[in-house]
Amino acid sequence: IGGNAALWFVDRHVGEGRGDGIAFREAFGDNREISYGDLAEQSARFAGACHRAGLRREERAIMLVLDQIEFPVIFWGALKAGIVPIPLNTLLSTSVYDAIFHDSRASALFVSNELYETIAPALPLNPFIREVIVIGDSAPEGARTFNAFMEGAEPAEPVTVCDDEVAFWLYSSGSTGQPKGVRHVHSSLKATADTYGAQVLGVRQDDTVYSVAKLFFAYGLGNGMTFPMAVGATTLLYNGRPTPDSVSQILTEHRPTVFCGVPTLYAALVHKWESEGAHPDAPLRTCISAGEALPEEVGRKWQAVWGVDIMDGVGSTEMLHIFLSNRPGDVVYGTSGVPVPGYEVRLVDEAGADVGVGEVGELLVRGASSADGYWNQRDKSRSTFEGHWTRTGDKYELTPDGRYVYCGRTDDMFKVSGIWVSPFEVEQALVSHPAVLEAAVVAKRDDDGLEKPKAFLVLKSGQAGDPDALKAFVQDKIGKWKYPRWVEIVDDLPKTATGKIQRFKLRETA
Ligand code: 3SK
């Protein structure tokens, strides 16, 4: 089936007799559940409510929604209505939300009540948002509750779309820290489910899936939504922070069979269980990792605990999900594995020529889930999406046995807990502090071998920099995970003759 992706991922299960199957279960509060049948009905009513509210086809709707039952209702309901949902990272700061609200020109905003306060200051400044819907028991003036929005709405038939029609956007940070709207089409959702979801992850109808990556990430959207939904499986949703304690509790109480993690969390879980001398009991049969390279030792220790390997892979928001991965029964730690069936990759030098085995080149990828482009960023779109090939900005080396080994970024960006961090953005936040004259940020590996920001600061004369206060300042300004874990005060920064910071020199001393 082509066309509207909601028909295939949601309504098909009702037509094929799986309507009573549980699609989502909340691993918090009263453990609310929603069946495939109820999701089909509620998403159709959501589409009707959008029409009734005057939201028109192709208008955008921001989703600042925690992992909770309303997330899939809104996402699939929007697709049924022809409205373009934009799930956003729930950890950003007010100023970044303000920029995205303006950039996207979204007409509607769906927000979990826990997050309302953060976006509230951006609303009076926004001329585009006509509807603010709060998921919670009450709504402030000028907004409605989700229940009020849905009440009495008639179910609407899904709009007919073509495969290439834009279905949803995700925002990805760029090298300047400026978020870019990545436009994805309806057919890409099924493309990733048919390739990585079916042929590497191998989700089955009897699986219970738990992804610590939230649904607003491309990684989480596939793991926790489209892959399980492609086969009528159940996903566990958790609205809080995935800490070693909360994840251990979910493993014990909800007993997932498929676990989708990120290296920072795998490392923290392994440490916790090592120091406690015990681990939870769960029937895990498949574990995957992405976001940043998985340290070999973490993979080996996890295997020793569970008897199950972690399949490390690499994907991107632009390709929607993982395109290079270790495979079931064929895991080599320290590598990103081989191309996922359905994807082709190349390694090229700066002139665009293919490089050979053992040489480092930029990774290019081609496959059916490539994004349609960036919103309103023609230059960026042209330099990233080159015909059928998408540039990843990652440097890789091909081993003689055909596996790909990560060698770093072509620019200065790096990932923390699987999320891109732009040194530039962190530096800008630091220099906006009254005590800071100049700042340079580089990646430094922590004791687990995972990259975190380190800041080198030149202070204004007569100022004393309190590292903890500076870290808190950055957290408040640009997001909780981007703050520098180390702060070093220096007399000056290494620069080129034209005044550009030489980060490579700082990396050597970090
Ligand atoms: O970071 C990754 O490896 C990734 C994987 C799947 C989907 C999206 C991303 C960014």
pLDDT in tens, 81-133: 999 999 999 988 899 999 999 999 999 999 999 999 999 999 999 999 999 99
Nearest CA to ligand 1 atom 1: 291
pLDDT at 497 over 70: no
Q: What is the pLDDT of residue 496?
A: 56
Name the residue at shortest CA distance from atom 4 of ligand 1.
315
CB 5 within 8 A of CB 189: yes
Q: Which token pair is 416? A: 């923390």
Q: Which atom of ligand 1 is nearest to the CA of 314?
A: 3
**Would strands 322-325 and 338-339 be described as parallel, antiparallel, or unpaired?**
antiparallel
Centre of ligand 1 to C-alpha 23, Å, is 23
The Å distance, Cα 291 to ligand 1 centre, comes to 5
3-class secondary structure, 62: strand
Ligand 1 atom nearest the C-alpha of 322 is 6
Distance 35 CA to ligand 1 centre (A): 28
Q: Which residues' Cβ are closer than 6 Å to ligand 1?
A: 218-219, 290-291, 314-317, 321-322, 418
- Distance from Cα 338 to the centre of ligand 1, integer Å: 15
Question: Residue 354 has what DSSP assignment?
Answer: B
373-374 and 179-185 strand pairing = antiparallel
What amino acid is encoded at 90 in this protein? T
| Cα 275 to ligand 1 centroid, rounded to whole Å | 30
Q: Which residue type does 359 have?
A: E
Average pLDDT over residues 61-68: 98
- pLDDT, tens digit, for every residue of 207-237? 999 999 999 999 999 999 999 999 999 999 9
The mean per-residue pLDDT over the stretch 486-505 comes to 79
- Three-class SS string for 245-265? HHHHHHHHHHCCCEEEECHHH
- Per residue in 353-372, pLDDT (tens digit) is 999 999 889 999 999 999 99
Of 292, 312, 316, the one to substitute when testing ligand 1's pocket (max ligand atoms within 8 A of C-beta) is 316
